[in-house]
Amino acid sequence: MKRNIIMMVATVIAAFTMTGCTMTKMGVAYMGFPSEAQDAYAEMMGNLSETGDPAQAMMKEWLITDEDLTEDDIFDEMKSLAGDFNMRFVGEKPMFRIKDPKPNQVSRARIGEFCSLGVAKKMLDHSRFYGGFMPCRVIYVEYGDGRRYLVSMDMTLALYGGTDKKPIDPALMEDMKNIMNAMEKIPLKAAGYDQQIDADKAMIKYYTEKGINERLPTIKK
């Protein structure tokens, strides 16, 4: 609640002090959104403000700290987990392998694709533009310094970023929540964690010990 109030106040101030009409329209639109949409946009804008990276603001990631987990282990686990969440593993695409990479250069990348065809059809019936999100993807990324991640789209805005002008049917909303849960839990567990808080703490510990200057997760109580 406090964050929402701060965000709304900041939006109003920006609307009248930055770029006139455009910001005014943005501020009015924001304050008219449901609270879930306000939270979603506030989270994205906070990430964007901190990192300057719009791609990062729309994604979730899980750092793999268990050195015993191989790339193939991780993909085998994701394939196995898909059925547990009523998803299908529908394909994978090895992107590239680079020899002798620089520490901050991506040396390996591989995409896994997931789908629930029944839910996908209902999402397309609601809005064909959801097709741009399909199939759901998780990408494995490895850097030259040994850091390894699983990255997937943050579906929060896909669910809560709209308005009452085009409401999502409650039954479809429940289906989409299940998809979002799957696309968070599958990479979480494949990366070696049971709970998100464990993944967040592991990332903070790893970044602190290695002196990595990147955005740290916020531990939610």
Q: Is pLDDT at 14 greater than 60 in this prediction?
A: no
CA dihedral 7, 216, 95, 191 (to 10 degrees): -120
Same domain, yes or no, for 37 and 138?
no
Q: What is the DSSP string of the chain?
A: -HHHHHHHHHHHHHHHHTSTHHHHHHHHHHHHS-HHHHHHHHHHHHHHHHH--HHHHTEEEEE---TT--HHHHHHHHHHHHHHTT-EEEEEEEEEE-SS--TTSEEEEEEEEEE-HHHHHHHHHH-GGGGGGPSEEEEEEEETTS-EEEEEE--HHHHHS--TTSPPPHHHHHHHHHHHHHHHHHHHHHTT-SSHHHHHHHHHHHHHHHT--SPPPP---
**Do 126 and 178 fall into the same domain?**
yes
Distance from C-alpha of 151 to C-alpha of 111, rounded to nearest angstrom: 9
Q: Over the stretch 48-62, which tens digit does the pLDDT of each residue have?
A: 888 888 888 889 999
Residue 2 has pLDDT above 50, yes or no: no
Answer yes or no: do 185 and 80 share one domain.
yes
Contact 15, 31 (CB under 8 A): no
* Strand 88-97 with 59-63, pairing: unpaired
Residue 169 and residue 107 in one domain: yes
**Domain span holding position 18:** 2-53
Cβ atoms of residues 211 and 103 within 8 Å: no
Does 29 lie in the same domain as 91?
no
Say yes or no: 24 and 72 in one domain: no
* Domain end among 36, 53, 70: 53
Q: Does residue 35 fall inside a structural domain?
A: yes
Strands 106-115 and 148-153: unpaired
Same domain? 145 vs 49: no
What mean pLDDT is predicted for residues 132-148? 96
Task: Please check whether residue 57 is in contact with residue 183, taking contact to mean a CB–CB distance below 8 angstroms.
Answer: no
Same domain, 120 and 83: yes
Residues 35 and 65 in one domain: no
pLDDT at 68 over 70: yes
pTM here is: 0.84
Residues 43 and 93 placed together within one structural domain of the fold: no
Are residues 21 and 104 located together in one domain of the fold?
Answer: no
CA-CA distance, 113 to 131, in Å (whole number)? 14
Q: Which is more confident, 18 or 65? A: 65
Contact of 58 with 44, CB cutoff 8 Å: yes
Is residue 79 a contact partner of residue 147, using CB atoms and an 8 Å limit? no
Residue with tokens 């789908």: 115
Residue 75 lies in a domain: yes
78 inside domain: yes
Residue with the larger pLDDT of the pair 1 and 73: 73
Q: What is the pLDDT of residues 159-190, one digit of tens each?
A: 887 777 888 999 999 999 999 999 999 999 99
120 domain residue, yes or no: yes
Counting the structural domains of the chain, the total is 2
Is 80 a residue whose pLDDT tops 90?
yes
